Homo-oligomer: A and B are copies of this chain.
Amino acid sequence: MDQNSLPPIQTTARDDAVLKALVGFVRAEALQPGERLPTERILAERLKVSRNTVREALTRWEGLGLVERRQGSGTYLKAAVSHDMLHMPLTLAGGNDFTSLMQTMEIRRALEAEAAALCAERASQADIAEIARKLDIMEQAFRTRDGMSSEEDWEFHQAIYRASGNPLFEQIIAAMYELFHRFWEHPLGVRDFGHASFPYHRTIYEYIAARDPQGARAEALKLIATVEDDLKRGAAKLKLSSHT
């Protein structure tokens, strides 16, 4: 039913038509985020267009954060898609200096607090169990690797965003997370980064499990505050060392 709904549109806007057809396919197959969609070669054959056209279309979606491509593996859905989506690409100038990093942290503080509160209101028992699982993994990684647990830390937060029932939280924060990483790829010696925020992960979880939105919001604010403090200390140290 999916491929047959491909009309003989032959004019321009080929790749746009490809995306429309893909939306139909995702809907028909009820694909969930994380699942793999057909290979580029299959799509090209089924839609009767060149593989390059398929690639251009997928490049658009990739740029919008809707899919993720993994060479040798496939193309995976990253978010829910529908026929009436609104794309709002925000491009903000300046990104590598400390000021803009702090500005993004303030945005994250706002979203993190609200996501935690919504999560406390709405999370299902399964959601809470999943968060608890991520928390355990993170705490174990923290102990065995002496504080190096950023990957597990991130997954814990993602679980909260997902349980908030609002996919926008994960989308927005994920975009900022990328910037965050870009900034921190330069070594700069804040080795104990994240140590201070560690205990708040469990307290946030406890407030969520206790269905206390206000408490969860307050704990999330405290957590981000510790991260911001770490960043400020790191920046100060960096400035100091660069003076020598």
Residue in chain B with minimal CB distance to A101: B86
Which residue from B59, B171, B193 sits with its C-beta under 8 Å from A59? B59
CB<8 Å pairs between A and B, sample of 12: A1-B193, A3-B151, A4-B184, A12-B71, A56-B59, A63-B87, A66-B91, A86-B94, A87-B89, A87-B175, A106-B169, A110-B115
Count residues of A near B (Cβ-Cβ below 8 Å). 67
Q: Are B103 and A166 in contact (CB under 8 A)?
A: yes
Structural contact, B93 and A167, CB atoms closer than 8 A: yes
Assess the A103–B168 pair: CB atoms within 8 A.
Answer: yes
* Residues A86 and B65 in contact, CB atoms below 8 Å apart: no
Within 8 Å by CB of A60, from B2, B63, B86, lies: B63
A82-102 interface mask toward B, CB cutoff 8 Å, 1 = contact, 0 = none?
101111111111111100100
The reply on A199 being an interface residue by CB < 8 A is: no
**Which residues of A in the span 97-119 have a Cβ within 8 Å of any Cβ on B?**
97, 100, 103-104, 106-107, 109-111, 113-115, 118
Q: Least Cβ distance of A185 to chain B in Å?
A: 6
Q: Cβ of A148 < 8 Å from any Cβ of B?
A: yes
On whether the beta carbons of A91 and B96 are closer than 8 Å, the reply is: no
Indicate if A145 sits at the interface (CB-CB under 8 A).
yes
The distance from the CB of A204 to the nearest CB of chain B, in whole angstroms, is 15
Q: Give every chain B residue within 8 A of A103 (Cβ-Cβ).
A: 166-168
Q: Are B111 and A107 in contact (CB under 8 A)?
A: yes
Given A59-B60, A150-B2: A94 touches B84 (CB 8 Å cut-off): yes
Task: Kindly provide the distance from the CB of A225 to the nearest chain B CB, expressed in whole angstroms.
Answer: 12
Query: Does the CB pair A90–B60 fall under 8 Å?
Result: no
User: Cα distance A167–B91 when bound, in Å?
Assistant: 10
